[in-house]
Structure 1
């Protein structure tokens, strides 16, 4: 049984959730980054030319460097949570989120300055470091605060909030395409307008959401016999890091987040490689069919966040992880056992939607899993440390997919002769091993017992 600090019991907890939802929608818009890659290349001087029968952008900032902005943002996102949690505890959730929201919106508006002659470092500063860092502060501080308001419904609240984080990319993707006009393709002439509206909408949503937040009360446990036997013992971050469970959970989270790296960075290229002939891979990856494919992935991701968060309150966290990681294991086997170019569209939709659904479920359940194992008292700070697996997983995907060099990836020839710069076979094999190890961890891990 949970008890709350009576000084804050009169607060409407659902208004806090509403504010968190606004923030999550705004922060989640960052995951629509992929639709801007070509626009930035064109805006910085690139031109479209026919190369070996396929349209490609020649000149401007290199494609690998532009797409690496998102990877850099993921790293800064996870690192920023280490500072965001203590700052929110010291100055209050409302103040910290409001400041982060303003910087977040201004960072997007700063991207409108990118043009011909701009350095890649300018793009990395605004689009990677600042945008990613503020995203991390907004996402995790508001999420963990909302969870602490509902200790009896942790999975449900986590599911609602993180589902909106996933929904942000879906909603803003179509807003951005609508602002772009025409067929929704972002180019040199319309990218400034799209960035302007993205920045304004994201800023307003995040600031309004921040103003609705209130610091969660301290949660203590009733002195029942069951709970005094370490079921809800609170571990400090230092105490947590002295347990093997912390590193086991870290590894499993890193594995789960690597699927995000795969889905967010190059999912259309992977789908094209496994379903199209070698000469059609580049054409399909930039088609309207590929854009719809991305939208379906976003929906599956969002549904997974809500459904698995709700299910975890009923079945417990570990059964949910067994379900999601076994499904991910099967999707990887399907990719590794099917020759590139031979997979049907129905099958690739099934594989990628399953990956997205499971990633959404995993990233929703991990915060509550950490609080189950190490207590609610320091759950924000504890999860911010475990959450570093998110950034490390994203960087690892970037290096694996680029064969070790994200700024100048080597060419990879697939079994059907298609030539790519993304090393999907290597990434899928490494992920397969990591998923198997994670399943073993979930089979043996037990709640830590705090030493007297």
Structure 2
């Protein structure tokens, strides 16, 4: 064997070892992300605790339920700055800190003696921990798999959604056997361990190559926000979150008060929403790797518009009620899944956490807007009409929007 052949074989061996190492790191990061996301999704079991906390603090249930609104807003705010934290400390340290903060928030919630303390611990602190870990781990994992962004988003956000379902049974069992305060302690311990383990498995995704592609489609947050496409995407995201979060949050009341259905039929809406939400995440997430993602969002908007039209213009019976909720939950789950990859299509992967973090503020703002519109107009039908108008505008924007292209720089 010649010297050149020996050198060639050594180079090939090193290359193969490098490929194997990168594949292992990517898979460990994906596994860690799924574990952490499952635990972080547990905050959506919050409604299980409203009645017990209201009795403990001797306040109306509505006062306790408001803490989840604070949590949603804090979650969105934390998501918007998690990119900066990753740049400074790395994904592992920030994820571990988020897990410890989540445990601390639940520990303090167990000892909350006033509504103000509840808002601080279960609202602000728990929401900030959840938002920090959620978007950071999701964006980092997507950047590791640029060739399968849609599928990775579906797996990651699907785990987040399944976390609410899995912890529903965990927390119900704990409430039954351990009591309210101890349930918060055990929930915090389980979630903290899972998030910390997930963080230890993760590695920061490498920066994408800088070159002609950088010039064409890689924007910092400062560069992105001066382009109309950023605000078009932000409005679409806010509208979908507004429609989804509002309807999901009051689904049982819509069934009883608007559709005139019995309590048991209206309560079954929770299961319909959970299945449709998960279906949207998986179906539209995988579909987004096979067709332009903005067209997938257009389909999601069309689904939500269909649901709103059913609520407004058809006789309300059990089937129409379930189909309408299913369409809206399918759209919401799918859009949440596709959007990180969509934002990377428009503004690049290198600054995805910051760019998507800014757009993700629409999650918290949309949640508040739905409640504000409902309070302003005082009826379900008027609120549905406003939301339907915004959905129609968003659908039009999704059909007109074009990917931004950086102006070529003169030598």
Judge conservation of contact 2:25–2:203 (CA < 8 Å) in 1. no
SS of residue matched to 2:39: helix
For normalisation by structure 1, the TM-score amounts to: 0.81
2:181 counterpart of 1:205: no
Residue 389 in 1 paired to residue 362 in 2? yes
Q: Distance in 1 between matches of 2:276 and 2:183?
A: 26
Count of residues in Structure 1 that have an aligned counterpart in Structure 2: 390
Q: Which moved more, 1:240-249 or 1:118-127?
A: 118-127
Structure 1: stretches of 5+ with no match in the other structure:
1-5, 45-59, 183-188, 405-411, 413-422
- Are 1:241 and 2:230 matched, yes or no? no
| Offset of residue 99 of structure 1 | 0.8
Residues in 2 aligned to 1:20 and 1:424: alpha-carbon distance in whole angstroms: 38
Map residues 59-138 of structure 1 onto 2, 5 A cutoff: 60-114=58-112, 118-138=113-133
1:95 Cα deviation after fit: 0.4
Corresponding residue for residue 317 of structure 2: 344
Structure-2 change in CA distance of 1:212 and 1:254 (3 Å): same
In 2, Cα distance between equivalents of 1:255 and 1:390: 9
| Contact persistence 1:82–1:381 (CA under 8 A) | yes
Cα drift, residue 126 of structure 1: 0.9
8 Å contact from structure 2 (residues 215, 406) kept in 1: no
Aligned mates of 2:380, 2:179 — CA distance in 1: 32
Partner of 1:296: 272
Runs of at least 4 residues of structure 1 off by over 4 A? 289-292
Q: What's the TM-score once normalised by structure 2's chain length?
A: 0.89
**Aligned pair in 2 of structure 1 residues 97, 25: CA closer, same or farther (>3 Å)?**
same
Measure the CA separation in 1 of the matches of 2:204 and 2:181: 37
Shift in Å at residue 202 of structure 1? Answer: 1.3
Matched, 1:310 2:283: no
Query: 1:112, CA displacement in angstroms?
Result: 1.1
Indicate conservation of the 8 Å contact 2:107/2:184, yes or no. Answer: yes
- SS of structure 2 residue aligned to 1:402: helix
Contact 1:170–1:299 (Cα < 8 Å) also in 2: no
Structure 1 residue 376 and structure 2 residue 349: aligned? yes
Separation (CA, whole Å) in 1 of partners of 2:55 and 2:179: 11
CA distance in 2, matches of 1:110, 1:429: 41
Higher helix share: 2
* Secondary structure in structure 1 of the residue aligned to 2:209: strand
CA spacing shift, 1:299–1:196, aligned 2, 3 Å = farther
1:272 aligns with 2:256: yes
The question of 1:21 aligning with 2:34 is answered yes
Give the counterpart of 1:167 among 158, 162, 167: 162
CA separation in 2, counterparts of 1:228 and 1:388? 26
Asked if structure 1 preserves the Cα contact closer than 8 Å seen for 2:374 and 2:380, the reply is yes
Q: 1:167–1:100: structure 2 CA closer, same or farther, 3 Å change rule?
A: same
- The answer to whether the Cα contact below 8 Å between 2:171 and 2:187 also exists between their aligned partners in 1 is yes
Is the contact between residue 31 and residue 198 of structure 2 (CA under 8 Å) also seen in structure 1?
yes
Q: Indicate the SS of the match to 2:204.
A: coil
| Cα distance between partner residues in 2 of 1:315 and 1:221 | 26
Q: Is the 8 A contact 1:100 1:138 kept in 2?
A: yes
Structure 1 residue 303: Cα displacement? 2.1
Distance 1:66 1:426, change over 3 A: farther
> Can you list the C-alpha shifts for 1:181-236, whole angstroms capped at 9, x where unaligned?
39xxxxxx93223322222221111111111111011122786xxx5883xx2111
User: Equivalent residue of 2:146, what SS?
Assistant: coil
For the Cα contact (< 8 Å) 2:63–2:115, is it kept in 1?
Answer: yes
Report SS of the residue matched to 1:315: coil
1:353-398 Cα distance to aligned partner (Å, 9 max, x none):
2211111100011111110011112111111111111111111122
Q: Over aligned residue pairs, what C-alpha RMSD do you find? A: 2.2
Q: Does the alignment pair 1:41 with 2:54?
A: yes
Cα distance in 2 between the residues matched to 1:203 and 1:292: 31
Name the SS of the counterpart of 1:153 in structure 2: helix
Contact in 1 for aligned 2:295/2:399 (Cα 8 Å):
no
Cα distance, 1:383–1:254 mapped onto 2, change above 3 Å: same
CA 1:136/1:265 → structure 2, altered by over 3 Å: closer, same or farther?
A: same
Deviation at 1:290, TM superposition (A): 5.1
1:170 Cα offset (Å): 1.1
8 Å Cα contact 2:80-2:356 kept in structure 1: no
- Tell me the equivalent position of 2:298: 322
Unaligned stretches of 5+ residues in structure 2: 1-17
2:73 and 2:363 in contact (8 A); partners too: yes
Name the structure with the higher strand share.
1
Deviates more, 1:195-204 or 1:354-363: 195-204
Residues of 2 paired with 1:385 and 1:228: CA distance? Answer: 21
**Among 396, 419, 425, the residue aligned to 2:381:** 425
| Partner residue, 2:44 | 31
